[in-house]
Amino acid sequence: MNIPSVQNLSVYYEGRRGLTGRKDGVWALKGVSLSPPASLNRLSIVGESGSGKTTLLRSLLGLVSPASGSVSLFGKSWEDMNGAEKLSARRACGYIPQDPYGALPPTLSVLGAVVEPWNIVRGRDTREEGLRRAKILLAELKLPEELWNERPRYSLSGGQRQRVAVARALILEPKLLLADEPTAMQDVSTRAEVLEVLNRRVQRGMSIILVTHDLFLAGRAAERIAVLYKGEIVEEGESQTVIANPSHDYTRELLSALPRLGA
């Protein structure tokens, strides 16, 4: 099973010391548990900004130290892994950060940014194979070839940068992809294209956890949805059930806030 399991995970961020001398921190996650079915390949996590979605993704990668609870990735908890095992687990994961502006190396071209993870992990002696794979991915994501030698900071729109970030995350063919709002800057047509590229990888054996604030997109992207509200999972279930018959008031609010066809 490639989708991680989470048991009673809580994460606390300490604040800065104020005039009173106290540090007013915040609980980003409070007792979050996820026990996905062994057959699950696609999970969407839904919530508004500040709900704890990004913290949860970073916790799944072992990049955040929890106050309590545990995360098991590829069948083993982070706390039980040694250094080599942690490195191997992270290399088996792809990560698409929410911010496509800060995610790409500013001095590299589009092609260079996509192939960089390959060169780091596989070595520069396989650079030609990395370039071949990068070109295939960029073409599949329909980024115009005339942009491949441009620097993303100066020549690409936000949506185009997101597609570069997707290609960068996929080049090492991860077992698990963690995607933080990967289509937020896409229009309707390119959003569908990006999801199709991801779905093709799922059909080849990759698993995906997709974070979004859009409940309809969550249902389209995954068979199962977990709704995160103020650091807690308030609803979890099959996508069709959650969307058609939500059980929590917050889920119903998310649905009512979405534009309706014909409106």
Q: Write out the H or E segment, with its range, that includes residue 9.
A: strand 5-13
pLDDT attached to residue 114 = 97
Distance CA 238, CA 118 (A): 35
Contacts of 255 (CB under 8 A, 6+ apart): 215, 243, 246
Contacts of 23 (CB under 8 A, 6+ apart): 14, 15, 16, 17
Contacts of 37 (CB under 8 A, 6+ apart): 224
pLDDT digit string (tens) for the chain, length 263 residues: 689 999 999 999 987 655 555 567 899 999 999 988 989 999 999 999 889 999 999 999 999 999 999 999 999 999 999 999 999 999 999 999 988 788 899 899 999 999 999 999 998 778 899 999 999 999 999 999 999 999 988 889 999 999 999 999 999 999 999 999 999 998 888 899 999 999 999 999 999 999 999 999 999 999 999 999 999 999 999 999 999 999 999 999 998 877 654 33
Token pair, residue 183, equals 């289509």
- In the chain, what are the domain boundaries? 1-92+176-187+198-263, 101-173
The class (CATH top level) of 1-92+176-187+198-263 is alpha beta
Distance CA 236, CA 91 (A): 28
Report the pLDDT value the prediction gives residue 20, as an integer from 0 to 100: 52
Cut 0.85: pTM above it: yes
